[in-house]
Structure 1
Amino acid sequence: MTYLDRFANGKGRYLDDIKLDNMLYMSVVRSPYARAKIRSVEGGLTSKDLKAYYTIAEGDHREPVLAIDEVNYQGQAVAAVFGKNRYEAEDLLSTVTVDYDPLEAISSIDDAKKKAPIYPDRKDNVLAVEDVGVKFSEKDIDYDVKITDTILLDRVSANPMETRGIVADYRDGILNVYLPSQSIVRSKTGIVKSLGLPPEKVRVFLIDNGGAFGVKALFYPEYIIACYASMKYGKPVKWQETRTEHLQACHAGRGVEGTLTLYAKKDGTVTGLDGEVLLDNGPYLVDAAAVDLGNVIHEVTGPYHIEKAHLTGKYVITNKAPNGYYRGAGKPEASILMERMMDLLADKLNMDIADIRLKNALEKPFKSPLGLEMRYPTKPFLEDALRYFNYRELAKKEHVGISLFILDEDTAPGESARIIVKDGKVHTYLGGNVSGQGHEMFVKSILSEELDIEQDSISLDLQDTETLPKGVGTWGSKSAMTHGSVLMQAAEELKKQVEKKYGKYSPEILLSHDFDQTSFYNFDYNDNQVNFNIVTSKINEMGDFEYLKIGAYYDLGKVLNLANVMGQTEGGALQAIGEVLSETLRYSEEGQLMTTSITDSGVLTAEHTPEFDIKIVENPSVLKDGAKGLGESPMIGIPEGLARSLETQIHKRINVMPISRELLFDSL
């Protein structure tokens, strides 16, 4: 099957295409309250059945698979019902009776600061605190100017075309799971750990995935409910959430409030950074939250030489669904906080926004006090980017915003791949999973070149945890880097197999016999790179764009597939623009979600696509295929550039995203 047939002509195999005999359809009874005591639950599968089961995060405040005695966000799973089809399952929801005692909810970070702790073992609404860097006093640094600002990046839901779902099929003592996931190996680990099953009794199958953006790298209560129910009832169980359920209960990204102070000399040299970053954590400890906040507080210094820096990060309890990954997972937040402060410092010192960045950019590799190890100088890259876009002339006549940022790719610990040659065809399996990025394109080009065979004989197939037991996953802008490198390694090892058995390698020998090669490419640190965005725009008196232009100056190492590069950049740009203008999750004071449809949540359409000027720089990485990351770059660099471009037109500081329509309209 061709790539076009599979993804454009509707011949792929998605979750809703899986239909098994005697399958039950699961619907979930969800809390209508953001916070409440549960007096009783009558009907359906409840915590009486699954009381021992929790999601896989460690700690005291883990989320139970089904609520026990209390609910702490609207949409939390309380019970599950099962019908012969989806309509029957939805009807059965009305057969479950839940008696709630509503409690006062915490609807925001600001709310959490003011209200009493929701947990009796806490002195405040903070689940955990993390300090990075070294504390310093003002007398310890040399500075002329001190600026402070608070920047709020509101919660955003990743909204893939296909919502979350699972099919669990327990038969013959084996739990078979079909899952659109960014890592079926990680998902298997979660199932094994949560249900206490032997690993050999669980087999997870990857199916086609209608988008992910981070949310399908996570592990959810509904997965465990479906697996448990299949084991209990001896039938396959399918669950697919509605869009409203997705917005209510899927782990959301962003939700960060940073209060930063910069200390600087009159010439713009930043001598110190201090501050506090608060994460809208939700009520439960989730592994993803540690990644998100960790990325923010470790990466804030970004591409700049700042000798003294200290940040405190706090996981703030709110009555919302838990915090999770959204494209970038803390990296965009870190860059937005820093770049918005650099713009503010430039204004304070009456300096050009490019000059303030040039003054502080790195001339050699640097490890920041916060722990970020920048492996490449950033000043020469910035100088080249400014020249390419003719920034000095452009800034005289346009409303321009820029960003210099790092992309810290999640290359460690590497990745796996398997190549099976059978019946004249080369079947490829990757440890990380496909969710629309076009992996098949670079798989075919790499193996065609490495093995000297036609691309038509190569396929990228969907794996399972038996076909490829070891794998990492697809996230962190690393697919081209680690997948490409492990494919090259596997191809080399496959050729050695052929040479050892037949005395020499040739494509004809390879394709006329059967071979099987599994490889793991080891990489022991996360690589990173420097990139640049420039945004020019003009809005009319109604706050609508007359034009919006985005320039990208990205170092991609060795480009594996140009079509992939353009698609990733343009698609990511539209998401980034949405975060600035409209995309968010809104809650009432009672913690009720007000953005209950994809339209309400502010997702932009193709009519908002800007003009692009994309310049690719190729400085090969140290990985085997020479590639560098891309996927998260537009999300990291474009929001702050767009905010600055708009700021110069409305003449008001933009320190909240998304910005309100009223702010744009009232300022014009």
Structure 2
Amino acid sequence: MYSGKKAFLVNGRGRYIDDINLLDMLYMSIYRSPYARARLKNIDGGLNSHELRAYYKAAVGEMADLSGGREDLKLYREPVLAIDYVNYVGQPIAAVFGKNKYDSEDKLSEVNVDFEPMQAVSSIDESLKSDPVHNGASSNILASYTLGTKFDEKDIDYDISLEDEFFNERILGNSIETRGCIADYRDGFLTFYASTQSVHSIKNGLASTLGLDRDKIRVIQADTGGAFGSKGGYYPEYLIAAYASMKYKKPVKWIETRSEYLMAAYAGRGVKSWAKIYAKNNGKITGIQVKLYVDAGAYDAGTGSFAPYFIGYQITGPYLIKNVYVEASSVITNKSPMGPYRGAGRPEASFIMERMIDLLADRIGKDPADVRLINASDVPFTSPTGLQVMDASRPFLEKALKTMNYYEISKNEKTGLSFFVLIPSTRPGESARIVSGDGHIKVYLGGDTHGQGHEAWARNIIKEYLNVDESLVTLENGDTKELDEGVGAWGSRSAIVGGSALVNACKKIREQVKSKFGEYAPDKLLNNHFDAEDFFSADFSLNSLNANMITARVLNHSVDITGWYCYYDLGNVLDMGNVIGQIQGGALEGIGQVLSEGIKYSDDGQLITNSISLAGLLKADDIPDKFHIHIAENPSDVPSHAKGLGESPTIGTPSALARAIELNTGRRVRITPIGPDYL
């Protein structure tokens, strides 16, 4: 039975961006590049870079920096509207405005652009051998890192060595609701409505790019129909809408189409790698070398410069390997910029390690579970890349195998395994606020809920610490007026840091009641105005061990997943219904990555998957026959005692499913998605 926020949305009473209509509002449409790479000889019509360039020269001195402000990356930052060149299909060139969405779409025909097409760089391999995409660059390498210590194989102890190559195609979240915003600038104050994972990141972006004082900006989150990473950042369209509202002195709405989303939203994955492991005949891995490349797209506007480091950092997962060396780089291509997709580097690292362990097990004739146990540790340890595995991995993995009944099931079923470490994005922490009065409690979180069900665990925390019935508690959407400081909802962080901030706020407001009345009682809280806020600082590392198991059959050129299993350490479970929903949804995304989902381009950089029907989303008959969800609760030291969850299914599912499929077919799985040709 649905309750609270869920019932509100299911009954059609949600207020999404496109449900908000302001008086005398303009509708914005974006003229986008039809070419992956071209010189702009002339732009005529619409709001374009010529006007914005003059504005920025006068207002803030330079074009907006959407790349995080690193001096060494300024060459690769994305302009708000294309200047001189376009570098991916869908890049914004000009904006037009109409009295409704049909009028604004018609006005796109009034924009005329003279293009001089250029040779596009459409793959990682092409990028490495092509001249630089950007003028002034010495190569197409955006960022490079080395992790661990370089070693000579003649100096380590091993009996066999194995190597392989892998590729995870780009992928997008494809949430039910596409991106959108409304900018309303009046009397020197900007009110900005957004479908977002973080009102605070958008406020910070608007302040820095518009040159406005932060106290002159309010960002309000509308109900948000999914995100999966793609709504966590700050996009050029947001700035264009805000500038247009300032220029025309009217509210401006932008709602992207699905085809625009597929072209221009920031995609995740897109990683090519080579790995070589050195091992003893008993399965003990004594060394691993990895070289990996990330497709950063045309600009460093998302996670492109950081992703290779983060993947390399966690390459060993829960395994104790003495010799580790990783060379990790990101490269520029003529595609939309790279951004986070659920997991954001974690699934890519796990896929490399887990697939190599399966290869080793096959070579030496041992059970893959036993090879994993041989390489696990009886004590916490720090890997040569700096990854702190905070719990002993071997006893946890032994418990996982027993709980999931691996050894019995694998006798009769084609079974894939995956063990991994989940690293949540806890830093720098998160905020929460509680406001009481009129018989009700309002809760605000710095990390905006966008479909995960934060309201469930927020109510449970209020009930546990303040003894207030769940029906009297409302989780409000993100609003920078109500909560001035915050971070965002991503990286498996919300229950850990947001939950901890809420626990601390509960303790503060309880003390306020006691201070005023001499004792705490729920009715005294509910019937009087109290207000408590906390920012839980998280300058620490926190991670957790987890395991997946999948059984599958390949019949008539299709994959039938007969069982999906997990054993996840969630610390303190704040709401079990929320946990089950997160796990099942994440599992389907991991399955989609393996079977069919991907963003594909032609050799000239044209988007092939340009409609939702071509994007490879799962159908109902792709859902596993049964989910077997097992939870370990080893509480963490934070106030909520929680550990991360959101990304775990997308980390553990791909490699486990790949193994189950290859056991059916007898052919190695190195690429996701496998696609129909493989089957």
Which residue of the partner structure matches residue 28 of structure 1? Answer: 30
Which residue of the partner structure matches residue 64 of structure 2? Answer: 54
The answer to whether residue 516 in structure 2 is matched with residue 516 in structure 1 is: no
Which residue of the partner structure matches residue 556 of structure 1? Answer: 570
Alignment of 1:257-656 (within 5 A): 257-540=272-555, 542-610=556-624, 611-656=626-671
Q: Tell me the amino acid that sits aligned with residue 52 of structure 2.
A: L
Alignment of 1:125-140 (within 5 A): 125-140=140-155
Tell me the secondary structure at the aligned position of residue 297 of structure 2. Answer: coil
* Structure 1: gaps (5+ residues): none
The answer to whether residue 63 in structure 2 is matched with residue 63 in structure 1 is: no
Distance of 2:381 and 2:136 partners within structure 1: 41
Deviates more, 1:380-389 or 1:38-47: 380-389
Tell me the secondary structure at the aligned position of residue 147 of structure 1. Answer: strand
TM-score (normalizing by structure 1): 0.97
Cα drift, residue 513 of structure 1: 1.3
Distance of 1:618 and 1:366 partners within structure 2: 21
Deviates more, 1:281-290 or 1:67-76: 281-290
Instruction: Please provide the CA RMSD for this pair.
Output: 1.3
Which residue of the partner structure matches residue 59 of structure 2? Answer: none
The answer to whether residue 80 in structure 2 is matched with residue 88 in structure 1 is: no
- Per-residue Cα deviation, 1:239-297 (whole angstroms, up to 9, x for no partner): 01100000000000000011111111121111111121100111111242234323211
Distance of 2:631 and 2:637 partners within structure 1: 18
Cα drift, residue 120 of structure 1: 4.1
Deviates more, 1:434-443 or 1:517-526: 517-526
Distance of 1:233 and 1:174 partners within structure 2: 14
The answer to whether residue 191 in structure 2 is matched with residue 181 in structure 1 is: no
Distance of 1:75 and 1:349 partners within structure 2: 49
Deviates more, 1:343-352 or 1:467-476: 343-352
Q: Tell me the amino acid that sits aligned with residue 331 of structure 1.
A: R
Contact in 2 for aligned 1:55/1:219 (Cα 8 Å): no
Distance of 1:210 and 1:371 partners within structure 2: 37
2:119 counterpart (96, 104, 108):
104
Distance of 1:412 and 1:115 partners within structure 2: 38
Deviates more, 1:120-129 or 1:382-391: 120-129
Distance of 1:394 and 1:599 partners within structure 2: 36
Cα drift, residue 461 of structure 1: 1.2
- Per-residue Cα deviation, 1:354-399 (whole angstroms, up to 9, x for no partner): 1110110121111111111110111111111111222222222211
1:13 counterpart (11, 15, 28):
15
Cα drift, residue 113 of structure 1: 2.6
Q: Tell me the amino acid that sits aligned with residue 566 of structure 2.
A: A
- Per-residue Cα deviation, 1:588-611 (whole angstroms, up to 9, x for no partner): 111000101111000113332111
Distance of 1:466 and 1:149 partners within structure 2: 52
Shift of the 546–604 alpha-carbon distance from structure 1 to 2, 3 Å rule, reads: closer
Distance of 1:408 and 1:544 partners within structure 2: 33
Cα drift, residue 557 of structure 1: 1.1
Q: Tell me the amino acid that sits aligned with residue 520 of structure 2.
A: Y
Tell me the secondary structure at the aligned position of residue 181 of structure 1. Answer: coil
- Per-residue Cα deviation, 1:98-154 (whole angstroms, up to 9, x for no partner): 000000001111222333322343343212211111111113311111111110000
Identity, in percent, stands at 48
Distance of 1:618 and 1:479 partners within structure 2: 17
Contact in 1 for aligned 2:561/2:623 (Cα 8 Å): no
Tell me the secondary structure at the aligned position of residue 572 of structure 1. Answer: helix
Contact in 2 for aligned 1:5/1:12 (Cα 8 Å): no
Tell me the secondary structure at the aligned position of residue 304 of structure 2. Answer: helix
Alignment of 1:142-291 (within 5 A): 142-291=157-306
Cα drift, residue 55 of structure 1: 4.1
Which residue of the partner structure matches residue 79 of structure 1? Answer: 94
Tell me the secondary structure at the aligned position of residue 231 of structure 2. Answer: helix
Q: Tell me the amino acid that sits aligned with residue 482 of structure 1.
A: V
Cα drift, residue 353 of structure 1: 0.6
Cα drift, residue 406 of structure 1: 0.8
Q: Tell me the amino acid that sits aligned with residue 608 of structure 1.
A: D
Contact in 1 for aligned 2:121/2:605 (Cα 8 Å): yes
Deviates more, 1:171-180 or 1:126-135: 126-135
Distance of 1:589 and 1:515 partners within structure 2: 61
Cα drift, residue 618 of structure 1: 1.0
Contact in 1 for aligned 2:295/2:304 (Cα 8 Å): no
Distance of 1:265 and 1:34 partners within structure 2: 48
- Per-residue Cα deviation, 1:51-103 (whole angstroms, up to 9, x for no partner): 24334213211000000000000000000000000000000000000000000
Distance of 1:485 and 1:128 partners within structure 2: 35
Tell me the secondary structure at the aligned position of residue 303 of structure 2. Answer: helix
Cα drift, residue 443 of structure 1: 1.1
Moved beyond 6 Å, runs of 4+: none
Contact in 1 for aligned 2:307/2:330 (Cα 8 Å): no
The answer to whether residue 48 in structure 2 is matched with residue 38 in structure 1 is: no
Distance of 2:210 and 2:92 partners within structure 1: 17
Q: Tell me the amino acid that sits aligned with residue 182 of structure 1.
A: Q
Contact in 2 for aligned 1:55/1:221 (Cα 8 Å): no
Cα drift, residue 491 of structure 1: 0.7
Cα drift, residue 647 of structure 1: 0.5
Tell me the secondary structure at the aligned position of residue 305 of structure 2. Answer: helix
* Structure 2: gaps (5+ residues): 57-62
